Structure 1
Amino acid sequence: MKRFQKIVFTINLLLTPLTIIAVFWSVANLEVSLTSFLLTIAFSLIIDYPRMLAKVVLLPIVEYFRKPPKLREPLRVSVIIPAHNEEKTVSLTIESVLENKYHWKQIVFVDDGSTDNTLAIASKYSDRIIVLSRAKSGMKAYALNYGLRAATGDLIVTVDADTIIAWDFLEKAVVYFNDPNVVAGSGNLRVLNEKSSILTRLQSLEYVIAFDIGRRLQSMFNTLLIIPGAVGVVRRSILESLGGYDPIIGEDFDVTLKVHKVRGRVIFMPEAYAWTEVPGTLGSWIRQRIRWHRSQMRILIKHRNFFFKRIFGTPGLIGAPDMLLMDVIALFIR
């Protein structure tokens, strides 16, 4: 798996010089003037290529000299697993957390009104985890907040019930929080059902590029705006001071912006791996992406006071405007 990730990482980095070579080859061999060609690709030259150059030049240098932190002081961790009708995967999720070698952990499972055997399966582990049940809320945030009330750890780790974490995930994540300036972190997410179809294989490539390259770069510039709901870490003191999770679809994006507003450092933890289920059919994939983009727009509007405010630092001055530009405006321009 690591070899595959390195190959994808290398291919993505080589895209920039190959693209530049292709541009000059096209000008030299096609009857197009350099000026006309540059005007045609002006938007990409201004917006896309600086990013690509950062990936090619800055990222490899920073990663070469970066040394993963070492555990100095163990912190207590509460892992909250919200679930609704996840009988097929919930057992794997719970066992992946139980098998984590980190000793200072508490596991809180919250069943959100499941109508299948999810609660019954989770209850089999009740001697080793806290199992809570509530009426269906329709929003993940309610289940998370319910679990937060039972949490006692210094750090809150949220894990979706269709996600499994690596056996050393908790230890790899905790070391970053020995730095008091770090208040939240994103795990390194991969695709669990990669071999199910061509679509899941493509999403696997997407996840490798988005996390191993995209989030590394965002973390470097302190513009990481989304801690994935599938696997993320937040200090409990910060989360409670913010009132927990707001009842909104896209609570992971929402809480990340709330953390940035209190000037907390949000980081990417490349050594902390987890694997999650992704849509296996085109229809379910389209529905997921529509849901993601709708919630993204809704939350950007909710946090519109975050834009271009010096008080919020680079996340407000660069991160949020960049997301609006690339994820919304650029789609229409292109």
Structure 2
Amino acid sequence: MKSPSRERFDDAQRPWSLFALFSVCALLVGWIALSATTDEGVSLLVYGLANLIVFTDAIDFGVRLYVHRRHTAVASELGGGETHLLSIDLAGARGARTGSVRVRPYAIIASIYNLEDELDEFMERLQPYRDHIWLISDGSTDKTAKRLQQAGWRCLDEEVNRHKPGALRHLLATLPPRVETVMVIDPDVRICGRHEGSVVDLERAIADLQRSGAAAACPRIAIERDGFLARFQALEYTLCFMVGRRSLADYGVTSGVSIYRRDALEWALAQHSMSIYAEDLENTVILLHAGERIYYDGRLVVSTHGPHTVRRWYSQRVGWYYGFLRLYTQRTRELWRIGRRAPFAMYNFIGYMGVLGLGLHVLRIASAALLLVSAAAILDGLFALGLLPTGRAINPVAFAGAIGSYLVLAVIALFTVVPRRERAYVGPILPIYFLYVLAHIV
């Protein structure tokens, strides 16, 4: 009998689901063709600006796939079966040693706050790793720490709320000296086993990091299947990790769930601003600037719940962008020095994050605005309202071309980077995923 956790991440590829997907795609193509028949001429400048989001995302997608192939070319030629899940040639990084992998002492650490209502579920998820877990109650005002201690879990009960970076720094100082590797997690994550999406178990991923000498490894984070909004976030996270982080070689970016060499994390937190905004990206910048290496290990999968409502989703993204803007303005010099270490580091940290993510964000908002006007023109034409005069600036072709092109890009991504077991889950939202992208930009 299949377990509930397996059902979350293991879709059977039903023919009807793919048929429904391609039927919707065909209808969308027909809609595009219908809107194009009403075209009275379109300005190439307006069309180019309106499709800036599509062009930049498509180019970035292709560049990252190519760069990952280059980074792991040697391992692929030697038949490395896990190469497509890693950002580096891990076999080369950890040496030619063979035989059983022995993991050295490690700890799983987390900062928790007022978790009493979800405590039973939290303990159930992490029970298999209980012997390695150290927790800190970061100024909780309920009985979180007391209940954990009564249940026999290691948990520091701190009255002062230091926020996550400060709490973890304090917790690290209390770990036994023998612990040399730490995995930082959030309270809502679940470490997936081999039957739930992971290719290796946790201890194998930790042992490989220990043998590689890198400062950190970032596993793949997947979104639990929980509502319509979760489908969009599931595809977004898949692209972020399977395309974005996987392309970065050993200039990777850590996340809220990452495995660190203990001394590297202690040093990073000693240099940290202690801000809760983009705190993981700040760890990355500190470590990479110091010459350390960080890689992506998609063989290990952890899952989490995304925001359930649009309001919470919007609040989360505002916090992300604020943290990104704060970090980039405060650590521009360090980011520039990281970029100078390698061509693709320059592309990612300066070109993509700095120029496109910040410098051209106003143009991307203008692009989204033009697309919304174009979409309004399509609806105006389809319902024969006659409210919007179509012309070179207000033209349905811009939106029709953008959503059609992004649909093609999304379908390519579905069959090239999305794991087979997840395709039927995210497939139905492909025709409207571009609208989610626009909402994210705005």
Shorter chain as denominator, the TM-score bin is 0.7 to 0.9
- In structure 1, stretches of 5+ residues that fail to align are 11-20
Closer, same or farther in 2 for the Cα pair 1:56/1:303, shift >3 Å?
Answer: closer
> Aligned equivalents of 1:34 and 1:67: distance in 2?
48
Per the alignment, residue 76 of structure 1 pairs with: 105
Give me the CA root mean square deviation.
3.8
1:131 aligns with 155
Residues 76-115 of structure 1, C-alpha deviations (whole Å, 9 max, x = no match): 1111111001223344344433314xx9x63111001212
Whole-Å separation in 2 of the counterparts to 1:216 and 1:6: 25
**CA distance 1:205–1:266, shift in 2 (3 Å):** same
- Out of 232, 251, 274, the residue aligned to residue 202 of structure 1 is 232
* 1:44-193 aligned within 5 A: 47-54=56-63, 65=76, 66-68=80-82, 72-100=101-129, 106-126=132-152, 129-137=153-161, 139-152=163-176, 153-167=179-193, 169-192=201-224
| Structure 2 Cα separation of the partners of residues 300 and 87 of structure 1 | 36
Amino acid corresponding to residue 262 of structure 2 in structure 1: R
Over 3 Å counting, the alpha-carbon distance change for 1:303 and 1:58 in structure 2 is: closer
Alignment partners' CA distance in 2, 1:46 and 1:278: 28
Q: Using the TM superposition, give the Cα deviation of residue 134 of structure 1 relative to its aligned residue in structure 2, in angstroms.
A: 0.5
CA distance in 2, matches of 1:292, 1:40: 26
1:204 Cα deviation after fit: 2.2
276 and 90 in structure 1: CA distance in 2 versus 1, 3 angstrom threshold = farther
* Secondary structure in structure 1 of the residue aligned to 2:283: helix
- Sequence identity, in percent? 19
Q: Is the 8 A contact 2:137 2:156 kept in 1?
A: yes
Equivalent position amino acid for 2:244 in 1? G
Higher relative contact order (CA 8 A, sep 6+): 2
- Is 2:268 the partner of 1:236? no
Evaluate the alpha carbon distance shift between residue 262 and residue 5 of structure 1 in structure 2; reply closer, same or farther with a 3 A threshold. Answer: farther
8 Å CA contact 1:156, 1:233 repeated in 2: yes
Q: TM-score, normalised by structure 1?
A: 0.77
Q: Which has the larger radius of gyration?
A: 2
User: If the length of structure 2 is used for normalisation, what is the TM-score?
Assistant: 0.60
Q: Cα distance, 1:144 vs. partner?
A: 0.7
User: Is the partner of 2:117 in helix, strand or coil?
Assistant: coil
Question: Could you tell me how far apart the structure 2 residues matched to 1:77 and 1:60 are?
Answer: 32
Q: What is residue 324 of structure 1 aligned with on the other side?
A: 354
Larger helix percent: 2
Of the structure 1 ranges 59-68 and 313-322, higher mean CA displacement relative to structure 2 is found in 59-68
What is the aligned counterpart of 2:329 among 274, 294, 301?
A: 301
Q: How far apart in 2 are the matches of 1:115 and 1:180? A: 41
Whether the 8 Å CA contact 2:112–2:137 is kept in 1: the answer is yes
For the 8 Å contact 1:110–1:133, the answer to whether it is kept is yes
1:272 counterpart = 2:304: no
Q: How many residues were matched structurally? A: 312
Larger relative strand fraction: 1
- Structure 2 Cα separation of the partners of residues 210 and 4 of structure 1: 21
Equivalent AA in structure 1 for residue 222 of structure 2: R
Partner residue of 1:17?
none
**Cα distance change on mapping 1:40 and 1:137 into 2, 3 Å:** closer
